[in-house]
């Protein structure tokens, strides 16, 4: 009985300690658990920094895809640290949660999507997330382990494309722009297989999860793959892609935030750090043209 | 939002067929493999006819590992084996081997539990009467645990319906995949609701058939 009580007491203490460390420091730091008050708190932190003896650190939590987004963010992390911002990068595997978490206040910003995707997301869920700055473009490409050029694709070839609305549209538009199929509306970024009006080579399109496409490359005649997944699978968009998007594409990857924190000092510093010559150099050197800086 | 403007019935029909195909083929192999593994697990466990600690430990260990691996990871890990077995690692065909590998250990554990429920007295009586091992397994063990096994099959089938939703990742299609793509990614709630409704009906039918069979074979 006594032993049981001791264990229970220890457990309770641990729980209280955990709660305490989150709740007690709100005047100093921006906790990621705060919902939507980051702009105000940044102001308070700046005002208090003169009076307080401790170094005031503003915490910025940013959700990102693994490659190259989290890598670029980790590159600017020390730069931001010198400016008094503690950057926490949270890596996500999917393309839905980073926006949901940003909207609900769990994140201060995210960096993984392009404008067309954000627009569609906002429209469908009545969100109001905003673009606070463009960083780079990952030209979308079509790859093949079977043929060396896009003209070699036989009639009836099986082409694998992403199954989510936004990437599927992008894949189909890329194919249409290269003359392989004709779409009902070339500008419709949510195009689906049902919108193909002409398919003279009778290509068969199979839809799989975007992340799965590099893995099944050898089972199809060609596959349209997002650059971040291609990079992770050791494909080089410049060398291995049969066809690839131009760098002027509307699919610049942006940093997104909420209306209530988009003008905060922390976010502005983040954008300034990202749209810098240092980052431009980092991107060019690390990704050899597979990722192209596009500061907008 | 205009209700039901997004329903594309041909797509739903194809998805329903895909789910039923995956369910049917997987269940056949799951029952065969799971039954064998479950019986071996039971018989080699301590105190039983073919008691063998080494065999039991190894088999139990393998079953535990297979049950611990998240399904999507399992799909990816056995892709080479899937390619060898059915020729491709994607689509409905490519989804079936991982579904079997995931469901069979689960069913095996249910079988093992079912066999443990059999009254030891009946087994001992059969042994006393000089029945051979095979006779005991077939006429006593399996017969006595019939209702438990039928219930286990029903449980496994219903669980499998949920698993098939994951097959969308590799292009396996099915109702669950439609629900994920349109409900979660595409936010088309009406289509998602229709696919979920069909899944509910499917599970209800499975459960009702299972319960009816259990009642039919129950000796009371």
- A284: left (phi > 0), else alpha (psi -120 to 50), else beta? alpha
Chain B residue numbers with beta carbons less than 8 Å from the beta carbon of A207 are 171
Q: Is the dihedral of CA B14, B16, B22, B25 positive or negative?
A: negative
Phi-psi region of A254 (alpha: psi -120 to 50; beta: other; left: phi over 0): beta
**Rg, chain B, Cα only:** 20
pLDDT per position as a tens digit, A197-209: 999 999 999 999 8
Chain A contact present for B61, CB below 8 A: no
Nearest C-alpha in A relative to B184? A96
CB-CB neighbors (< 8 A) of B181 in chain A: 163-164
Q: Does B2 touch chain A (CB under 8 A)?
A: no
Contact A96 B184 (CB under 8 A): yes
Q: Inter-chain contact A216–B170, Cβ cutoff 8 Å?
A: yes
CA closest to A99 among chain B residues: B185
Of B76, B171, B185, the CB nearest to A164: B185
Query: Poorest-confidence range of A38-52, B48-62, B178-192?
Result: A38-52
How far is Cα B137 from Cα B123, in angstroms, rounded to an integer? 9
Q: Could you give the angle at the alpha carbon of A234 between the alpha carbons of A233 and A236, nearest 5°?
A: 120
A223 three-class SS: strand
Which residues in chain B are closer than 8 Å to A95, comparing Cβ atoms? 185
A131 touches chain B (CB under 8 A): no
Give domain limits for chain B.
9-217
* Interchain pair A216, B90: CB under 8 A: yes
Q: Cβ of B90 and A208 within 8 Å?
A: yes
Least confident segment among A197-211, A243-257, B60-74: A243-257
User: How large is the average pLDDT for residues B183-197?
Assistant: 80
Structure tokens that stand for B51 in this block:
């008691």
- Determine the Cα–Cα distance for residues B186 and B184; give it in Å rounded to an integer: 6
Q: Is the pLDDT of residue A33 over 80?
A: no
How many A-B residue pairs are in contact by the CB < 8 A criterion? 43
Taking an 8 Å cut-off on Cβ atoms, the answer to whether B89 and A164 are in contact is no
Query: A151: which residues sit within 8 A by CB, 6+ positions away?
Result: none
Interface test with A, best of B185, B186, B191 (most A CBs within 10 A): B185
All residues of chain B having their beta carbon less than 8 Å from the beta carbon of residue A216 are 89-90, 170
Quote the percentage of chain A above a pLDDT of 90.
53
- Looking at the domain that runs over B9-217, which CATH code has it been given? 1.10.3720.10
Dist CA A122 CA A15 (whole Å): 37
> Distance (Å) from the C-alpha of residue A209 to the closest C-alpha of chain B?
5
Q: With contact defined as beta carbons under 8 Å apart, do B22 and B95 qualify?
A: yes
pLDDT at A247: 57
The token pair at B101 is: 């590998």
pLDDT tens string A144-177: 999 999 999 999 999 999 988 888 999 999 999 8
- State the DSSP H helix or E strand holding residue B120, giving kind and residue range, or none if neither: helix B120-128
- The better pLDDT of the pair B168, B199 is held by B199
* DSSP one-letter code for A56: P
In this prediction, residue A237 carries a pLDDT of: 84
Q: What topology does CATH give the domain A58-138+247-296? A: D-Maltodextrin-Binding Protein; domain 2 (3.40.190)
8 Å CB contact between B168 and B177? yes
Q: How much is the pLDDT for B167?
A: 84
Q: With bands split at pLDDT 50, 70 and 90, how would you rate the model's confidence at A17?
A: low
Distance from CA of B62 to the nearest CA of A (A): 26
CB atoms within 10 A of CB A98: 28
Taking residues A76-101, what's their average pLDDT? 93
Shortest CA gap A96–chain B (Å): 7
A104 — pLDDT class (breaks 50, 70, 90)? very high
> Looking at the domain A141-244, which fold is it?
D-Maltodextrin-Binding Protein; domain 2 (3.40.190)
Report pLDDT for A48. 44
For residues B55-77, give the mean pLDDT: 94
pLDDT, residue A9, reads 67
CATH 3.40.190.10 domain range(s) in chain A? 58-138+247-296, 141-244
Provide the whole-model pTM: 0.70
Question: Looking at chain B from residue 148 to 177, which residues have their Cβ under 8 Å from any Cβ of chain A?
Answer: 168-171
């Amino acid at each position: 009985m006594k032993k049981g009580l001791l264990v229970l007491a220890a457990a309770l203490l641990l729980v209280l300690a955990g709660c305490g460390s989150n709740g007690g420091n709100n005047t100093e730091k921006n906790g990621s658990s705060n919902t939507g008050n980051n702009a105000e708190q940044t102001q308070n932190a700046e005002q208090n920094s003169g009076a307080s003896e401790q170094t005031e650190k503003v915490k910025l939590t940013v959700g990102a895809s693994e490659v190259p987004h989290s890598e670029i963010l980790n590159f600017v992390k020390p730069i931001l640290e010198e400016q008094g911002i503690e950057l926490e990068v949270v890596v996500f595997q999917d393309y839905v949660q980073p926006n949901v978490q940003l909207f609900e206040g769990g994140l201060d910003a995210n960096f993984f999507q392009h404008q067309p995707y954000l627009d569609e997301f906002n429209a469908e869920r009545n969100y109001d997330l905003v673009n606070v700055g463009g960083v780079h473009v990952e030209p979308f490409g079509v790859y093949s382990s079977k043929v060396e050029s896009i003209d070699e694709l036989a009639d009836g070839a099986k082409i694998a494309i992403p199954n989510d609305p936004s990437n599927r549209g992008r894949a189909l538009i890329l194919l249409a722009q290269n003359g392989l199929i004709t779409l009902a509306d070339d500008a419709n970024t949510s195009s689906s297989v049902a919108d193909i009006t002409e398919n003279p080579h009778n290509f068969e399109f199979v839809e799989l999860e975007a992340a799965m496409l590099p893995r099944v490359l050898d089972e199809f005649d060609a596959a349209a793959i997002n650059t971040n997944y291609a990079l992770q699978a050791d494909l080089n968009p410049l060398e291995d892609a049969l066809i690839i998007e131009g760098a002027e594409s509307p699919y610049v990857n942006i940093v997104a935030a909420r209306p209530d924190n988009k003008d905060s000092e922390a976010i502005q510093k983040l954008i300034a750090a990202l749209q810098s010559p240092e980052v431009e150099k980092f991107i060019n050197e690390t990704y050899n043209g597979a990722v192209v800086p596009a500061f907008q | 939002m205009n209700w039901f403007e997004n329903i594309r019935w041909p797509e739903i029909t194809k998805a329903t067929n895909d789910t039923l195909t995956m369910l049917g083929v997987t269940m056949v192999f799951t029952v065969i493999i799971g039954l064998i593994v479950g019986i071996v697990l039971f018989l080699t466990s301590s105190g039983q006819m073919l008691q063998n600690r080494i065999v039991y430990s190894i088999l139990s260990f393998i079953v535990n590992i297979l049950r611990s691996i998240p399904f999507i990871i399992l799909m990816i890990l056995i892709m080479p084996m899937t390619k060898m077995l059915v020729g491709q690692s994607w689509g409905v065909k490519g989804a079936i081997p991982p579904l079997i590998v995931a469901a069979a250990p689960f069913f095996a554990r249910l079988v093992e539990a079912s066999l443990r429920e059999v009254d030891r007295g009946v087994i001992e009586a059969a042994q006393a009467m000089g029945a051979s091992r095979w006779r005991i397994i077939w006429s006593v063990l399996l017969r006595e645990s019939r209702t438990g096994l039928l219930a286990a099959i029903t449980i496994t089938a219903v669980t499998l319906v949920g698993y098939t939703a994951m097959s969308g990742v590799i292009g396996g299609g099915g109702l669950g995949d439609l629900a994920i793509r349109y409900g979660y990614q595409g936010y088309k709630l009406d289509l998602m609701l229709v696919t979920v409704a069909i899944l509910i009906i499917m599970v209800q039918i499975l459960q009702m058939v299972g319960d009816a069979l259990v009642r039919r074979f129950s000796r009371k």
